[in-house]
Amino acid sequence: MQSSSERIARIASHLHPPSSQMEETSLLGRSGCRAKGGTPGFKVAILGAAGGIGQPLAMLMKMNPLVSVLHLYDVVNTPGVTADLSHMNTGAVVRGFLGQAQLDNALTGIDLVIIPAGVPRKPGMTRDDLFNINAGIVRTLCEGVTRCCPNAIVNLISNPVNSTVPIAAEVFKKAGTYNPRRLLGVTTLDVARANTFVAEVLGLDPRNVNIPVVGGHAGVTILPLLSQATPPSSFTPEEVAYLTERIQNGGTEVVEAKAGTGSATLSMAYAAAQFADACLRGLRGDAGIVECSYVASQVTELPFFASSVRLGRGGVEEFLPLGPLNEFERAGLEKAKKELTESIHKGVSFIKS
């Protein structure tokens, strides 16, 4: 039985670890009894957790009742972000990990890894302009996944998603741990934008609108299927042109408005949290979870393609058919496939060559 002063000393030593022991900032509740996780649930890691997306995403995951343990990894600032979030009185226990030497600790035992690490665009750049920096970051982080949690579901956010997902797949293949059903590129923000912009045009509540967005996550590869809108709706040719262009350029709209300080972070964190929640509900065994995602696919002849998938205990459990496309969408699909082919090839070659 510990004395009161011993209990307080134990808590204080966790709250203010000597800097030489910063390898894991495991913050305890006031009782000092929560180091192993207080609620049943899943263990989630965010890699790039101190960034523009990472921080609000970490907060939303800390609020998710399905999460029991939340690991926050970055190359900067995780002790502060971890200390801050750990004061929220929600169930998930938060632990911070700083720098490459702590990557493996951050990933050990994790069920769901969410990766928003990497540089964002500035005005005038395409997502592909981020390839040279982000490809290496994604490779390093995915190598950590192969070592420490090869069965985890991976949600990949870092751009260019059309290439980073193929990069991750090649890293996993090389290590012999690849399970295509567990690697998912996050395209939920495209769906969120489509639902929002279509709801504005139709005068509806965006929560009641659903637009499948297929293809990929860059420019013309973002293909909203307005003909498959829920609720069923018809659009004039002008509305189709306006909506398609706005959905495809939603990211650029934010990059330009932020004028050099970054790209979408808050809407992305919201979208990523929704998608992660869907993955966790799938892992729990909930039925009927359908989301759009950029995944290894047989829906078209391309090896990777974003479309509606059903999520379950194994990750992607079913590919839903593309459904009937109108002439405008068929033309859009051909353009999307041409660009996707190049982006996929670029990602695969980065690891193979």
Ligand X SMILES: O=C(O)C[C@H](O)C(=O)O
> Which residues are known binding-site members for NAD(+)?
48-54, 74, 134, 157-159, 268
Choosing from 102, 159, 227, 244, the residue that interacts with ligand NAD (CB under 6 A) is: 159
Q: Which distant-in-sequence residues (6+ apart) come within 8 Å of 190 by Cβ? A: 213, 217, 222, 224, 247, 250, 292, 306
User: Cβ closer to ligand NAD: 272 or 333?
Assistant: 272
Choosing from 60, 75, 202, 204, the residue that interacts with ligand NAD (CB under 6 A) is: 75
Closest separation between CB of residue 301 and ligand X, Å?
25
Does 268 contact ligand NAD by CB under 6 A? yes
User: Cβ closer to ligand NAD: 118 or 224?
Assistant: 118
Choosing from 48, 56, 79, 282, the residue that interacts with ligand NAD (CB under 6 A) is: 48
User: Cβ closer to ligand X: 73 or 270?
Assistant: 270
Choosing from 29, 206, 262, 303, the residue that interacts with ligand NAD (CB under 6 A) is: 262
* Phi, psi angle pair for 230, to nearest 5°: -115, 125
Does 52 contact ligand NAD by CB under 6 A? yes
Query: Where is the binding site, in residues?
Result: 48-54, 74, 121, 127, 134, 157-159, 193, 268
From the list 235, 211, 239, 232, the residue with the least C-alpha distance to 223 is: 211
User: Cβ closer to ligand NAD: 94 or 264?
Assistant: 264
The binder of 255, among ligand X, ligand NAD, none, by C-beta within 5 to 8 A per type, is ligand X
Catalytic residues: 217
